[in-house]
Amino acid sequence: MTSPTRIGIHDLAVATAGHVLDLDDLAAATGVDPGKFHIGLGQDQMSVPGPDEDIVTMGATAAQQIIARHGVDRIRTVFFATESGVDQSKSAGVWLHELLGLPSTSRVVELKQACYSATAALQAAAGLVARETDTQVLVVASDIARYDLDSAAEPTQGAGAVALLVSADPALAELEPVAGLHTAHVDDFWRPNDSVTAVVDGKLSIDAYLDGFVAAWDDYRTRGGVDIDEIDLFTHHQPFTRMAAKAHRRLAEHTGAELPAERYERSTVYNRRIGNSYTASLYLGLAALLDGDDDLTGRRIGLFSYGSGSVSEFFTVVVQPGYRDHTRASETAAALAARTPMDVAAYRALHAGAHLGSRVDVEIPAQSPWPFHFAGVSGRARQYSA
């Protein structure tokens, strides 16, 4: 009997916005104790997009790194996961497809379910690759988190993207087949069509997140998932990194296992500096684990994915031999260092001008340090340049 084909993450790349706001500056401007941000939320900075940046430009910047290494010939599908889409009909992935010169012989789809949809894309990608093992799927998770100024959620804002190349015989991490699932209708967080910022019930959202985690874990175990002692490290969805601490503690309480903080803390490194990136945040956590100093060869990582509203999933991956030759720690460090620091006044001016209607043509000059730019609106259609 032939062994089943290993399928998983063959490559992973990160991108973020071109500006950064230090939360010490926001604390000083708003008269808040900085510890509320650094300790209470577990956040140090937030990435802030400029006028020429959006989910398409960040997603394309992340995906370009993968294409430069692997080419495009085997990519038959692009899944673009986001909850901050730029059009009610057209997939953001279609613009990305053009910017990157991907083959016309490919399917392109946008997926939406709050912060969860990148995991849905990953699982769907694995199914497609299992059916056609010589093909690859490009999964892009890209989001901008914006909340009302002076709201409790304001310091958790952020912007970022992660691109994943899913293939057979993956170089980074094999996706294991068992997953635990949970869906429940909860009005904890949503963004109405007539609003550019989200509506949040903070306490309910935390409770729904933790309830979803426990339920997804129980389903995972019921379906044959490994015992908690066989999972070496964890990364959890991080709307703010202290949420990962809450999740980790709840799982320990629920299972009765000892789960020291060292088993998840490394996963918060990038999210602390980028802020909330919605669909991308879980996979920024995975990138941070893989980019760390410890050799993770053969280690099993548990991932908890949550999307408000709500959908939860718990699943595992196993880190592959030789994975260190394929990580991108230096590239991610360079991207974080390349952001332009800004003061609170400049950040708030960008926040105020973030919503751009389609009824008036406008040209936006290229400003960000990245290769792709939102160039404005012409004839009610979004324009991009490279």
Please say whether the dihedral angle defined by the alpha carbons of residues 166, 171, 172 and 175, taken in this order, is positive or negative: positive
Beta bridge partners of 317: 175, 301
Query: Does 19 participate in catalysis according to the annotation?
Result: no
Q: Which of 53, 83, 265, 313 is catalytic?
A: 83
Q: Are the C-beta atoms of 247 and 209 separated by less than 8 Å?
A: yes
Task: Please enumerate in sequence order all residues whose Cβ is within 8 A of that of 245, keeping only pairs 6 or more positions apart, or say none.
Answer: 42, 261, 264
Q: Which of 53, 97, 110, 115 is catalytic?
A: 115
The DSSP-derived string for 192-225 is -TT-SS-EE-HHHHHHHHHHHHHHHHHHHHHTTP
Task: Please enumerate in sequence order all residues whose Cβ is within 8 A of that of 31, keeping only pairs 6 or more positions apart, or say none.
Answer: none
Q: Are the C-beta atoms of 299 and 233 separated by less than 8 Å?
A: yes
Query: Does 237 participate in catalysis according to the annotation?
Result: yes
Whether the link from the prior residue into 310 is cis, omega within 30° of 0, is yes
Query: Does 236 participate in catalysis according to the annotation?
Result: no
Q: What region does 256 belong to: left with phi over 0, alpha with psi -120 to 50, or beta? A: left
Q: Are the C-beta atoms of 30 and 353 separated by less than 8 Å?
A: no
Q: Which of 236, 237, 248, 373 is catalytic?
A: 237
Q: Are the C-beta atoms of 377 and 358 separated by less than 8 Å?
A: yes
Number of other CB atoms surrounding residue 203 within 10 Å: 9
Task: Please enumerate in sequence order all residues whose Cβ is within 8 A of that of 74, keeping only pairs 6 or more positions apart, or say none.
Answer: 134, 135, 136, 167
Number of other CB atoms surrounding residue 351 within 10 Å: 18
Q: Are the C-beta atoms of 57 and 86 separated by less than 8 Å?
A: no
Active site residues: 83, 115, 237
